[in-house]
Chains A and B, each alone.
Chain A
Amino acid sequence: EAQVTQNPRYLITVTGKKLTVTCSQNMNHEYMSWYRQDPGLGLRQIYYSMNVEVTDKGDVPEGYKVSRKEKRNFPLILESPSPNQTSLYFCASSITSDGVNSPLHFGNGTRLTVT
């Protein structure tokens, strides 16, 4: 089944403890992106990747890192999480970054709580 898989689904951690949220897609998509969803703010883009080894900042990149060593994986890294990073995170991918036939496919989300 074609899908975007995020792990874990739920994560509770403490301030300053490094964590990684994994994202994997099996559709050979070039474009991948991370969003965070907060009440009243909707979805905001954190980072995106056009292809392997090509990543760039979205609207709210502070406090996050990403890597794209393989086409299928796009992990989100929080080196030193803080409570304001408590949020619902979505990974998404599309065939390419352009074109009208490239809708985003979303993962199930990761609910992160930082205490």
Chain B
Amino acid sequence: AQRVTQPEKLLSVFKGAPVELKCNYSYSGSPELFWYVQYSRQRLQLLLRHISRESIKGFTADLNKGETSFHLKKPFAQEEDSAMYYCALRSKGGSNYKLTFGKGTLLTVNP
């Protein structure tokens, strides 16, 4: 069965500091990985996906199949980055391409 692990429930950094939100996964197939973000009182939004190799709001994430990781990084955190971040893996079980979410990391960027 697939599993997504986000080891940090809470992460607090100062504005301008680098930030890394960790995500590890276990899945026997070829993974498709995403980061979703949930700002206070808002819906979950897709932040980025590994297949696109894009940088969104200064965030990047690289899939490391050897370490089974998909850590989210930003070199200089901003206060507006404070949010809950979820790593998610899309797997196929029968006909259901299900998203399995990690338990989330609450990022707080202090002024």
Contact = CB atoms under 8 A, between A and B. Distances in A.
B11 interface: no
Interface of B: 9, 32, 34, 36, 42-46, 49, 51, 86, 92, 94-99, 101-104
A53 interface: no
Task: Provide the main secondary structure of the chain B interface.
Answer: strand
A35 to B, nearest CB: 8
B95 A97 contact: yes
Task: Provide the main secondary structure of the chain A interface.
Answer: strand
Contacts of B51: 100
A58 B94 CA distance: 12
Interface of A: 4, 31, 33, 35, 40-45, 48, 50, 56, 58, 90, 92, 97-98, 100, 102-109
Contacts of A107: 43
Contacts of B36: 104, 106
A42 B32 contact: no
Contact of B97 (A35, A40, A97): A97
Given A40-B103, A42-B103, A103 B98 contact: no
B97 A41 contact: no
A106 B44 contact: yes
A45 B98 contact: yes
B98 A108 contact: no
Nearest to A31: B97
